A = this chain, B = another copy of it.
């Protein structure tokens, strides 16, 4: 909860991203903004520590989580901060606490400096990884439409994409399974639902 606790020389911090209309990250309110973090406990793995930080800050569990970078802790404790980033569909996040909010990472800094740096690096990693790894679906439900997927790319990449070229690219590089169902979502033609073959729950990645 407090990563400057003197007895904890290592802390994990997590930048959790989700997508609503824009890309947003989870920010703990109060004083200077922070992202969830926790001191590493005895016998705990770094990843478990990061997951615990999310759980304790906002009762969030079962998200895609990947290590980002390890930063010096500045003088004093913690002496190292192992930063992670996490991705999750917004509707799976039932925030169980107050005092947390969602913030657009492109807005002016609202976090203590070391956490702001983590969020910035996480955004870069996310945009970069989108180009060569199938992770965008982590923002979506298990079954998703290609239109939803394209929206994720457009939001993170901050540019609109051509629909046909996008679909060709995704079909070529992802191993998609076309389901028999469709999503009826408004006054328009229903969209076919797909899932990633062999997609396991994101917390087992």
Contacts and interface: CB of A to CB of B under 8 A. Distances in A.
A32 interface: no
Given A9-B10, A40-B80, A80-B10, A46 B70 contact: yes
A79 interface: yes
Interface string A70-110: 11100100011010000000000000000000000000000
Most chain B CB neighbours (cut-off 10 Å) among A10, A45, A69: A10
Contacts of A75: 43
Nearest to A43: B75
A67 interface: yes
Contact of A69 (B43, B67, B71, B80): B67
Interface size classification for chain A: 10 to 19
Interface string A24-47: 000000000000000010010110
Contacts of A45: 72
B72 A46 contact: yes
A70 B45 CA distance: 11
A43 B70 CA distance: 16
A12 to B, nearest CB: 10
A69 B67 CA distance: 8
A75 B41 CA distance: 11
A67 B81 CA distance: 13
A96 B24 CA distance: 51
Interface of A: 9-10, 40, 43, 45-46, 67, 69-72, 75, 79-80, 82
Nearest 7 A-B pairs (CB), nearest first? A70-B70, A45-B72, A9-B9, A70-B82, A10-B80, A46-B72, A10-B79
Given A40-B80, A67-B69, 19 more contacts: A9-B9, A9-B10, A9-B79, A10-B10, A10-B79, A10-B80, A40-B79, A43-B75, A45-B72, A46-B70, A46-B71, A46-B72, A46-B80, A67-B70, A70-B70, A70-B80, A70-B82, A80-B80, A80-B82
